[in-house]
Amino acid sequence: MKLAVLPEPLAGIPWRVILPLVILVCFGATVLHSAAGGSFHPFATSHLVRFGVFLTMALIIRLMPRELVVMAAYPAYVGVLLLLILVELLGAIGGGSQRWLDLGFIVLQPSEFMKPVIVLTLATFYGALPPGMTGSWRALLPAGVLVGLPMGLVLLQPDLGTALAIGFGAGVLLFLAGLPWKWFAGAGAAALVIAPIAYFFALHDYQRARVTTFLDPESDPLGTGYHITQSKIAIGSGGITGKGFGEGSQSHLNYLPEPHTDFVFATMAEEWGLVGGLLVLLIFGVILRWGLTVARNAPDRFSQLLAGGMTATIFFYVAINLLMVMGLAPVVGIPLPFMSHGGSSMLTNMICIGTLMMIDRWSQRSRSTSFN
Amino acid sequence: MRPKFSSRLLAESFHRRTFVLGAVQGGVGLLLAARMGYIAVAENEKYEMEAESNRVNLTLIPPRRGWILDRNGSPLASNRADFRVDIIPDRLKDADAEITTLGELLNFTPVELQDLRDKIDKAAGFQPVQVADGLDYDTFAAVSVRLPELPGVVPQRGFSRFYPTGPSVGHLIGYVGTAAKEEYEKEPVPLLVTPGFKLGKDGLEKQFEQVLRGEPGARRVEVTASGRIVRDLDTREDVQGKPIQLTIDGPLQDYAARRLGLESGSVVVIDCASGDLLCMASMPSFDPNSFSDGIGRVEYQMLSENERVPLRNKVLKGLYPPGSTVKPMVAMSFLEAGLDPNETVGCGGGLRVGNRVFHCWNRRGHGSVNMSKGIYQSCDVYFYHFAQRLGMDVIAPMAKRLGMGQEFQLPVASQFFGTVPDPAWKLKKYGKPWQSYDTVNATIGQGYMLANPLQLAIMASRLATGNKIMPRLILDGKTPHFDSMDFHGDHVQIIQKAMSDVVNGPGTAGRARLPIENVLMAGKTGTAQVVGLNIGSGKGGIWKHRDHGLFIFFAPFDKPRYAGAVVIEHGGGSGAAYPIARDVMTFLFDPAKGLEALHAMEQQWGGTAKERFDAEYARRAAAAGIDVPPVPEDQATIARLVDAEARAAAAQPAGVATEAVAPRPEPDVLDGAEPR
């Protein structure tokens, strides 16, 4: 997508994704402005600043060459894995669970990095795997280890939501890599057996409560069901056109929990109604569709898988968050990309966007070289 | 064999599978859109309501109660603006310390403090307990200032019920109070547990609760999830309850109640034209003003230990043998049965029936007695004689026609309607045949016969007018029309004249003559025996053993305008009753003259009923300290307890009477007013 009027360096930039992103982030900032009681401080300003910083970062990622990315994949994986282990060790020494590394000038959450990194690593792995081995155990076992290690470490933290996000990104990548259908069928069947067992033996009490509450939120409207109930009230009371900017009683009077992070969509829907909700869905649709288009047009197997996996990672965030605020999924702490206030998720998602823009650039270049 | 996996095949599979992935994403997107549409459009109304109920906190404002007015439009029950302090027990942090502090601020005595602790112990946590009301502004302000250290203490501005004549209307109007647990369970509306709300607990306040209650106001405030008030939204004013207007004449009611003085008894006055109940006084009574604040333990002890049962409405729930007051009724039954009023019988002080002699109250005898003399001299032999001839089957139906044993359509919780015995009744109740002495007892209003004062007043009004007068308590703008009793010829005039002679002629109640020119009151005395001669004379001795004094009356005798009855429990005879009737009627025709008499008497008694009550309370409170047993759990049960006692007391004479009752002398005659 080239615009002739723009100078060459700008013309190559994929406005097709940046424009919807900017709209979404600005809309998010508007909602955060309202959630802060009609003030840019403390949410909206930092939201916009972060987006500016991370967008720059994404544009830098975009310029990276394929060889560098492939080369960096495994070292990056090992690095993040070591950070996860470090977090676990610090947690064990400090007593109690820990998810963050405080480096003094920045607080890092290594599990967040693992989401794009696992996609990158697996894409590298399958990109290098000879096609004939796709159906053999050698296609599955190393990948299983690569996914299993970080997932296990994150589950130890314990952070079910992030572990599932890692698992989902990896799973989609395996699927796109062309692994036999029956393996997925088998895994699905195994999950059906394991899920109830895990529910009773592996989950923590608070996690179990979230699942039970999800199945019947009204059973405990003031306890664990409170989040879902209040979120549905916020969305439902918004109606078609919403209560108006700054008029949401659910968020302003603190009935809605986390109105600026996990439940930002409910905050938005209360004030902007169904119209605002459909706009958000539409923009996410545009972004994700662009991601899949990038994947389909990617020049080689590695970049195809990488693009597909990155799109799936963003999709997982969006889908789980929206399903949760509408009462269709249990409450897991997953924010809504580009709208929720919070650095980590914005960083992860902008890495995904940057990677997709990078692949988009590769494919443009390979097309132009092949056509020359 | 074609390789299963190749670059080309994998690329094809990738494209297929990205399509699947895209489809899944699109599907989830559609699902989300549909879900959101469903929540925001289809369920919008439900969630909008829930958001509102989250946001808006409704505080009810108790409605002002409707007034209860007397026939002239003056309030018998009204409302008074006041300052009040409530406690919500659930919200107390350090109950003991806070109550102590509050007690100091409000200058509570140890007794009052103990009462408060009792109330809080018994209260159902969420339910506010009134600590004090009717506070002056300074005290109210003193409490308000200390609020930060008194969580759970709620100062309020509101209205309290005010009964200007206090004890005079206690039984009639009842009182109000905070809702008891059972009342809330029966009618679970939030208003009932709203601080400051009181509902009718007894009497008319209870009967007309829904009319008097009104619509609560509401204050809507916006609150955060943690309950902090953000702003006031709007306030809806309460709608005051509708007033009800009674047929009662307020001043007359008050006069009669006060005129009863130290006695235990009741006064009923009926308007003969309309059946309006002008007065239904019953004393001793309680002060509904202080009852409405909740009954303290000293007050309760005072009321429950009083053998004169101040908690019983004696007009409706006092049952007494009517004594000689039935004689005009019996005479009317004779007339209607065809007896010539001039037919005489010789009274020698007694009458032999079979092998027994039945005495007249006057053992020296009345000589030759016709009907008129039988009534005004209350000659028992006259009635024994003709009752033997005409039988109980003539008397009992007449008693019922005139209102005895009847229940009247009145807005009251309960009436005891007594007994009019006849052979069938006795057989059914005791399985024993009617005896001649039963007839003898019945003709002089003793034995099984029991009536309440209202019935006696109705009997007087029906005899006086010959109309079937029905009592009413609520003024509804209609003028009732009564059927005639269809008494024959001049029978009504004969009775009127004879009853006038009781007072104005050579009768038993000469001192009942009204001190007013041209108004002659007619009446009939009655003395009802409570215990046999073997226990007491009925005149003195233990209060409980003294005779009841009764008097039925109407005035003016030839054109009856008012009728009524006075019953004095254990008054020692009819001499205790008719002076009261005389003064009440005097007040009705000439208030100043009536009051003059009353004031003189009240000076002797030590003040009005209210003043005496307060003095007694102060004396007991000082003597008792806090070692007084607490008030029963629920105020409503107090009334029930009394009901039970009343019924038990009423059931007492229902043991099989095996003896003829020896009639008691009529006092005036003993005092020297010999038959002329």
Give the span between the Cα atoms of B98 and A34, in whole angstroms. Answer: 43
What pLDDT, on the 0 to 100 scale, is given for residue B589? 86
Residues on chain B touching A240 (C-beta within 8 angstroms): 40-41, 44
- At residue B526, the 3 state secondary structure works out as strand
Q: Is the pLDDT of residue B673 over 50?
A: no
| Mean per-residue pLDDT, B255-260 | 88
- Size of chain A, expressed as the number of residues it contains: 372
Alpha helices in B488-543 (DSSP H): 491-504
Q: A253 and B21 in contact by Cβ < 8 A?
A: no
Q: Are B160 and B292 in contact (CB under 8 A)?
A: yes
Nearest CA in chain A to B56: A249
**Average pLDDT score over residue span A71-98:** 83
Q: Give the pLDDT confidence of B42-56 residue by residue, as tens digits.
A: 999 999 888 888 888
> Is the pLDDT score of A1 beyond 60?
no
The partner residue sitting opposite A132, judged by closest CB among B5, B47, B51, is: B5
* B residues 166-225 lying closer than 8 A (beta carbon) to A: 222-225
List CB contacts (< 8 A) between A289 and chain B. 22
Q: Using alpha carbons only, give the angle B196, B201, B203 rounded to the nearest 5 degrees.
A: 135
How far apart CA B109 and CA B119 sit, in angstroms, is: 15
Average pLDDT over residues B621-642: 49
Q: Which of B283, B288, B276 is nearest to B256 (CA)?
A: B283
* pLDDT at residue number A122: 94
What average pLDDT does range A28-46 have in this prediction?
A: 89
Averaged over B376-398, what is the pLDDT? 89
CB contact under 8 Å between B17 and A178, yes or no, is: yes
Least Cα separation, residue A323 to chain B (angstroms): 7
pLDDT above 90 (res A93): no
* CA A185 to mean position of chain CA atoms: 25
Whether B36 and A285 lie within 8 Å, measured CB to CB = no
Q: What are the residues whose beta carbons fall under 8 Å from the beta carbon of A98, sequence distance 6 or more? A: A87, A88, A90, A91, A157
The crossing angle, in degrees rounded to 10, of helices B250-259 and B578-589 is: 150
Tokens coding A48: 């916009």
> How large a percentage of chain B has pLDDT more than 70?
87
H or E stretch including B281?
A: strand B277-283
Residues of B in contact with A237 (CB under 8 A): 44, 47-48, 50-52
Please tell me the distance in Å from B186's CA to the nearest CA on chain A: 28
- Do residues A316 and A168 lie in contact, with contact meaning Cβ atoms separated by under 8 Å? yes
pLDDT digit string, tens, across residues A132-182: 888 888 888 899 999 999 999 888 877 778 888 899 999 999 999 888 888
How far is the CA of B362 from the CAs of B379, B505, B572, B663, B675, in angstroms? Answer: 8, 18, 17, 9, 10
B4 contacts chain A (CB < 8 A) = yes
Report whether pLDDT(B9) > 60: yes
Residue A31, pLDDT > 90, answer yes
Residues of B in contact with A134 (CB under 8 A): 5, 10
Has residue A104 got a pLDDT over 70?
A: no
How far apart are the CA of A102 and the nearest CA of chain B, in angstroms? 33
Per-residue model confidence as pLDDT tens digits over A48-62: 999 999 999 999 999
DSSP string, B443-459: HTT-TT-BB-HHHHHHH
Residue from B47, B49, B228 to probe the interface with A (highest A Cβ count within 10 Å): B47
Residue A36: both structure tokens together: 């802060």
B149 touches chain A (CB under 8 A): no
Among residues B62, B475, B74, B478, the alpha carbon closest in space to that of B241 is found at B62
The minimal CB distance from B17 to the residues A175, A232, A277 is found for A175
What gap in Å lies between CA A355 and CA A61, rounded to an integer? 6
Instruction: Locate the chain B residue with the closest alpha carbon to A286.
Output: B26
Both ends of chain A: CA-CA distance in Å? Answer: 18
pLDDT at position A73 is: 92
What is residue A359's predicted lDDT score, i.e. its pLDDT?
A: 94
Whether residue A158 is preceded by a cis peptide bond, meaning omega within 30 degrees of 0, is yes
Distances in Å between the alpha carbon of B399 and those of A207, B20, B335? Answer: 83, 100, 14
Cα nearest neighbour of B29 on chain A: A281
Q: What is the pLDDT, as a whole number, of residue B1? A: 44
CA distance A333 to chain B (A): 19
Residues of chain A contacting residue B10, judged by C-beta atoms under 8 Å apart: 131, 134, 177-178, 301
Q: Exposed, middle or buried by CB within 10 Å (0-12, 13-18, 19+), for B415?
A: middle
Asked if residue A341 lies in contact with residue A36, where contact means CB atoms within 8 angstroms, the answer is no
Residue A119 is predicted with a pLDDT of: 94
Calculate mean pLDDT across residues A255-259: 85
Which sign does the torsion angle of CA A22, A28, A34, A35 carry?
negative
Residue B486, token pair as written in the block = 């269809």
B662 pLDDT tier (thresholds 50, 70, 90) = low
Residues B309-339: b if buried by 16+ CB within 10 A, e if exposed = bbbbbbbbbbbbbbbbbbbbbbbbbbbbeeb
Q: Which residues of A touch B224 (CB under 8 A)?
A: 253-255
Inter-chain contact A134–B5, Cβ cutoff 8 Å? yes
Q: How far is B184 from chain A (nearest CA, A)?
A: 26
| Share above pLDDT 70 across residues of chain A, in percent, rounded to a whole number | 88
Q: Which of A238, A292, A308 sits opposite B40 (nearest CB)?
A: A238
Would you call the peptide bond into B3 cis, given omega within 30 degrees of 0 as the criterion? no
Contact A169, A118 (CB under 8 A): yes
SS3 B512: helix
Rounding to the nearest 10 degrees, give the CA dihedral for residues A270, A276, A278, A281: -90
Burial (Cβ within 10 Å: 0-12, 13-18, ≥19) of residue B569: buried
CB of B41 within 8 Å of a chain A CB? The answer is yes
Query: Measured between CB atoms, does B484 come within 8 Å of chain A?
Result: no
Q: Of the spans A223-227, B611-615, B645-649, which averages the highest pLDDT?
A: B611-615
The closest alpha carbon to B524, from B671, B385, B372, B650, belongs to B372
- Using a CB-CB cut-off of 8 Å, the residues of chain A touching B29 are 281, 284-285
Residue in A177, A233, A274 closest to B47 by CB: A233
- Supply the pLDDT for residue B54: 82
Chain A with chain B: Cβ pairs closer than 8 A? 143
Say which of B5, B41, B225 has its CB closest to residue A131: B5
SS3 A224: coil
Question: Which of B21, B33, B51 is opposite residue A278, by nearest beta carbon?
Answer: B33
- Give, for B230, the enclosing helix (H) or strand (E): strand B229-236
Burial B244-256 (b: 16+ CB within 10 A, else e): bbbbbbbbbbbbb
Tell me the shortest Cα–Cα distance from A218 to chain B, in angstroms: 13
For residue B624, give both structure tokens.
Answer: 């008792």
Distance from CA of B125 to the nearest CA of A (A): 21
Hey, is the C-beta of B29 within 8 angstroms of any chain A C-beta?
yes
B535 touches chain A (CB under 8 A): no
Chain B residue nearest residue A127, CA to CA: B7
Give A90 to chain B, closest Cα distance, Å.
Answer: 37
Let me know: does A309 contact A371? Beta carbons within 8 Å: no
Please report, in angstroms and rounded to a whole number, the separation of the first and last CA atoms in chain B: 150
**β-pairing, B68-69 with B244-245?**
parallel
- Closest-approach residue (CA) in chain B for A139: B5
Residues in chain B with CB shorter than 8 Å from the CB of A175 are 17, 21
Residue A264 CA to residue A341 CA, distance in Å, equals 8
B531 touching chain A per CB within 8 A: no
Centroid of chain to Cα A71: 24
* Chain A residue nearest residue B39, CA to CA: A236
Q: Which residues of B touch A301 (CB under 8 A)?
A: 7, 10-11, 14
Q: Which residue of A has its CA nearest to B50?
A: A233
**CA-wise closest residue to B463 among B486, B495, B500:** B495
Distance from C-alpha of A42 to C-alpha of B86, rounded to nearest angstrom: 43
| Residue B243 bridge partners (DSSP) | none
Contact A176 B7 (CB under 8 A): no
Helical spans, DSSP H, in B466-554:
491-504
What is the torsional sign of CA B348, B349, B352, B356?
negative
Contact B28 A319 (CB under 8 A): yes
**Looking at beta carbons, which residues of chain B come within 8 Å of A135?**
4-5
DSSP result, B311-359: TS-HHHH--B--GGGGHHHHHHHHHHTT--TT--EEESSEEEETTEEEE
- What pLDDT score does A105 carry? 58
Tell whether the model's pLDDT for residue B376 goes beyond 70: yes
Of B309, B244, B247, B245, the residue nearest B280 (C-alpha): B247
Distance between CA atoms of residues A316 and A332, nearest Å: 12
pLDDT bucket at B4, cuts 50 / 70 / 90: low
pLDDT at B642: 34
The confidence score (pLDDT) of residue B661 equals 65
- Do the Cβ atoms of B14 and A288 come within 8 Å? no
Binary contact (A273, B40; C-beta < 8 A): yes
> Which chain A residue has its CA at the smallest distance from B35's CA?
A326
The residues with which B551 forms a beta bridge, in sequence order, are B525, B566
B35/A240 CB distance under 8 A: no
Closest CA to A92 of A145, A153, A150, A165: A153
The residue to which tokens 């599990």 are assigned: A111
B214 dihedral zone (left: phi>0; alpha: psi -120 to 50; beta): left
**What is the Cα–Cα distance from B129 to B131, expressed in whole angstroms?**
6
Residue B515 corresponds to which tokens in the numbers above? 């001190």
Residues B480 and B272: their CA atoms lie apart, in Å, by 11
Helix axes A15-35, A264-297, angle to 10 degrees: 170
**Closest chain A residue to the Cα of B230, Cα to Cα:** A253
Q: Does B34 touch chain A (CB under 8 A)?
A: no
Which among B616, B615, B613, B611 has a CA at the least distance from the CA of B599?
Answer: B611
